[in-house]
């Protein structure tokens, strides 16, 4: 590592109007901890000491790099941090996943606040947002919650500009968000509405996170209202930041298939959603056997087969689609029986009891974050005369109103039952508990995902293999559980396709 005087000499030579000059100096950050940056003793001329590692200091590590490495005072100027070069500096973190020890983006990348109190630009290219994301000096550091923030290490530094293939989707996302705002429906925004660019909530606390809307909302009866909306910011979604980390900064090979968007270049270019929906619609009415034969897919009648057919209709040769990976889109094949019902509920990921118990509130829960951020892609087959026919497809995300009512109720009852000491009763070989069931909530419930049961009871009795169980806060073990979206609720969401 260079000495402090050498860094100051390098900084003096940086041309702040030249992107390459800025990046060349910034690359020296790789391998340094934030404490080592502080030790360089670089400061703005009118520097005021700050505790950058405090949870109350929202500027955090980005401000530290601005002031203590580049030597300029951080501010709230609407222009990019390096205005002459058109570069915005952003520091963000990645975590090491416990399950596979691989790096994973730790958070979304907040770009700039969404103005609710004044007109918003129609065109992304002319917007304040584009000023902030056209070229980003991206500083990725490894987050380790067991050590002080100052001791966390910077791993990757690079300039990032959304590539053309991503920019097409980002532009669609911007148009979607703007359409909600201009319709006075900013209160209905959620991250699940869009693909790469999100509208994330911002606000120090519940009291200050609400804002008046500039644009009026016209209600169904024709009346005009101005409902308050949660303050939100434009952001690159966490799943997109994970892709940037792995494939643009770490240079990992991407073996996923790209859908490609030839339709974008047509005289009337389609949006991302329209492109996907159009490709599926070409096969509506065909049976699953016909589609399988068309694409050379062996017909096995197994669950995984229907999602494979969906991907083949999209024009890809695998079940891993680059655009879906970037967006964290969850593709689901849904089979509707002749009775008009779905045989199975829709499962989400399994959870750990101790992690649910440790979540302080619904707003900070992993379930809420997942449901607000995630877009689902439903491909629907309807059984008629003994055969499944393709009925259509749609993108769907859980509406905010549903998210903060029934989904919240399911999480709250689960959280409270675990924290209060889960009630487990046994009747011979049958076990029951007081987690919320399907009949108790119209939207969601909790039950196991695996068929193998496993328990360690209060008296020490063990049933099954504990690798299939999860630890309860009181030391008992119970079969690992999962949140499920009710099949009746799913049917309601796809009724327009049936």
Cβ neighbours around 194 below 10 Å, total: 27
- Of 267 and 170, more confident: 170
Question: Hey, what domains does the chain have and what are their CATH numbers?
Answer: 4-249 (3.40.600.10), 259-327 (no CATH), 343-384+393-489 (no CATH)
pLDDT at position 268 is 64
**pLDDT confidence of 220, banded at 50, 70, 90?**
confident
pLDDT tens profile 84-101: 999 999 999 999 988 788
417's tokens: 């039952």
Give me the mean pLDDT over the 184-195 stretch: 92
pLDDT at position 117 is 82
- Of 79 and 444, more confident: 444
Beta strand segments in 213-302, E: 217-218, 224-225, 229-230, 232-236
Cβ neighbours around 38 below 10 Å, total: 17
Mean pLDDT over each residue of the chain, to the nearest integer: 92
pLDDT at position 206 is 59
Nearest to 62, CA basis, from 24, 110, 22: 110
pLDDT at position 97 is 87
Cα–Cα distance measured from residue 191 to residue 373, given in angstroms and rounded to the nearest whole number: 5
How far CA 64 is from CA of 38, 56, 59, 69, 72, in Å, comes to 8, 14, 8, 7, 10
Element of type H or E holding 20: helix 19-26
pLDDT of 495 above 60: yes
Nearest to 485, CA basis, from 378, 384, 387: 378
CB distance 29 to 36 below 8 Å = no
How far CA 279 is from CA of 217, 262, 474, in Å, comes to 34, 12, 52
pLDDT tens profile 362-410: 998 999 989 988 999 999 999 999 999 999 999 999 998 999 999 999 9
CB distance 346 to 484 below 8 Å = yes
pLDDT of 260 above 70: yes
CB distance 166 to 322 below 8 Å = no
pLDDT tens profile 35-80: 999 999 999 988 888 889 887 776 789 999 999 999 998 877 778 9
């005087």: which residue's tokens?
Answer: 5
pLDDT of 213 above 70: yes
pLDDT tens profile 298-329: 998 888 899 999 999 999 988 889 999 999 99
**pLDDT confidence of 13, banded at 50, 70, 90?**
very high
The alpha helices in 391-437, defined as continuous H runs, are: 400-402, 408-419
Cα end-to-end span (Å), the chain: 65
pLDDT at position 362 is 95
160 three-class SS: strand
**pLDDT confidence of 207, banded at 50, 70, 90?**
low
Give me the mean pLDDT over the 10-37 stretch: 96
Give me the mean pLDDT over the 178-187 stretch: 93
Q: List the single range of 74-78, 276-280, 429-433, 464-468 with lowest mean pLDDT.
A: 74-78
């389609």: which residue's tokens?
Answer: 270
Give me the mean pLDDT over the 455-474 stretch: 93
pLDDT tens profile 445-456: 999 987 899 999
Single pTM value for the model: 0.87
pLDDT of 263 above 60: no
pLDDT at position 203 is 59
């Amino acid at each position: 590592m260079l000495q402090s005087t050498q860094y100051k000499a390098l900084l003096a030579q940086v041309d702040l109007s030249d992107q390459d000059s800025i990046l060349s100096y910034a690359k020296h950050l790789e391998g340094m901890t934030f404490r080592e940056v502080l030790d360089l003793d670089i400061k703005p001329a009118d520097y005021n000491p700050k505790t950058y590692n405090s949870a109350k200091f929202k500027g955090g590590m980005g401000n530290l790099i601005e002031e203590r490495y580049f030597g300029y005072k951080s501010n709230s100027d609407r222009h990019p941090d390096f205005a002459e070069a058109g570069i915005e500096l952003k520091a963000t973190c990645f975590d090491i996943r416990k399950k596979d020890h691989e790096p994973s983006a730790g958070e979304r990348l907040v770009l700039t606040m969404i103005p609710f109190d004044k007109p918003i630009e129609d065109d992304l290219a002319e917007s304040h947002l584009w000023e902030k994301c056209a070229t980003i000096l991206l500083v990725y550091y490894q987050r380790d919650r067991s050590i002080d923030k100052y001791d966390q290490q910077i791993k990757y530094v690079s300039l990032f500009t959304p590539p053309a293939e991503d920019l097409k989707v980002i532009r669609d996302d911007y148009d979607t968000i703007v359409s909600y705002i201009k319709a006075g429906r900013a209160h209905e925004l959620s991250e699940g509405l869009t693909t790469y660019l999100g509208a994330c909530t911002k606000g120090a606390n519940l009291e200050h996170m609400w804002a008046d809307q500039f644009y009026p909302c016209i209600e169904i009866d024709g009346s005009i209202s101005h409902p308050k909306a949660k303050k939100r910011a434009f952001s690159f979604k966490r799943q997109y930041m994970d892709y940037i980390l792995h494939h643009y900064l770490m240079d990992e090979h991407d073996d996923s298939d790209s859908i490609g968007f030839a339709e974008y270049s047509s005289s009337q270019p389609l949006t991302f959603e329209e492109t996907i929906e159009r490709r599926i619609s070409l096969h509506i009415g065909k049976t699953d056997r016909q589609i399988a034969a068309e694409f050379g897919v062996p017909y096995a009648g197994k669950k995984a087969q229907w999602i494979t057919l969906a991907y083949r209709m999209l024009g890809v040769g695998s079940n891993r689609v680059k655009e879906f990976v970037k967006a964290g889109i969850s593709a689901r094949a849904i089979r509707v029986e002749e009775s008009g019902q779905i045989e199975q509920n829709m499962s989400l990921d399994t959870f750990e009891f101790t992690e649910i118990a440790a979540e302080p509130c619904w707003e900070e829960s992993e379930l809420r974050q997942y449901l607000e951020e995630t877009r689902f892609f439903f491909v629907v087959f309807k059984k008629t005369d003994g055969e499944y026919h393709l009925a259509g497809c749609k993108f769907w995300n859980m509406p905010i109103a549903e998210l903060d009512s029934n989904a919240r109720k399911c999480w709250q009852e689960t959280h409270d039952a675990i924290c209060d000491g889960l009630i487990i009763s046994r009747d011979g070989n049958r076990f029951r508990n007081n987690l919320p069931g399907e009949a108790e909530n119209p939207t969601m419930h909790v039950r196991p995902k695996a068929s193998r049961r496993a328990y360690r009871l209060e008296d020490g009795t063990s049933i099954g293999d504990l690798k299939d169980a999860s630890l309860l806060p009181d030391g008992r073990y119970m079969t690992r559980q999962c949140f499920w979206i009710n099949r009746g609720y799913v049917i309601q969401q796809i009724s327009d396709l049936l």
